[in-house]
Chain A
Amino acid sequence: MESLSGSSISSSQRDELMETVKQQIAVANAQELLTKMTEKCFKKCVSKPGSSLDSSEQKCVLMCMDRYMDSWNLVSKAYGDRIQRERNRN
């Protein structure tokens, strides 16, 4: 973080910097989710790749996508709860 010292930035530049960092993290996070979902739903729904993505495969993929996001939220909650419990224990 040395690059920050010595230089002076205005508060609006600071806000801009923070906003950029947050956006980049959000984009990286969305990309990770997208990559995982694609991989998982391809595995679940396309067992034998045919000459096209047929309608039952498409339906499966769309459903899978929703379920993956449900799972993500569930896991996120479980992890948050656990962190909370560990904190209370110590």
Chain B
Amino acid sequence: MSDLFSSSSDLPANLGNEAMEKELQEFLLVEREKAKLQAQIHEFADICWDKCVDKPGSKLDSRTETCMLNCVDRFIDVSLLITNRFAQMLQKNSNY
């Protein structure tokens, strides 16, 4: 959980107004991307927990661990497969 609540800012103390605004916008973009990644991790944890964990024990056994890791990769595979196929379908339909 080390990176969950981490914060670091090592920015120059004084900038012009325009530069400051640009910097803030960039900061917000980066934070938004990080928030999206974390939301995705919450979703994966939700889905893969249901798939992989039976009765929670004193530690995650190696089978469960492998299942979790595979679960994330296969979910992404499915997502890519469906996205590509769907894009193809849309393209075919637009040819008529």
Contacts and interface: CB of A to CB of B under 8 A. Distances in A.
Given A4-B21, A29-B38, A67-B60, A72 B72 contact: no
Contacts of A64: 56
Interface in A58-74: 60, 63-64, 66-74
B82 interface: no
Nearest to A76: B41
Residue among A17, A45, A78 with most chain B CB within 10 A: A78
A14 B28 CA distance: 12
Contacts, number: 113
Contact of A25 (B34, B52, B76): B34
B7 A74 contact: no
Interface residues of B, number: 48
Interface in A1-45: 1, 4-5, 8-9, 11, 14-15, 17-19, 21-23, 25-26, 28-30, 32-33, 36, 40-41, 44-45
A71 B50 CA distance: 11
Contacts of A79: 37, 40-41, 44, 72
A68 B42 contact: no
Given A25-B34, A26-B5, A63-B58, A14 B24 contact: yes
A15 to B, nearest CB: 7
B1 A72 contact: yes
Contacts of B24: 4, 14, 17-18
A75 interface: yes
Given A72-B45, A74-B65, 9 more contacts: A8-B17, A14-B23, A17-B24, A18-B9, A30-B4, A33-B4, A44-B56, A60-B56, A74-B69
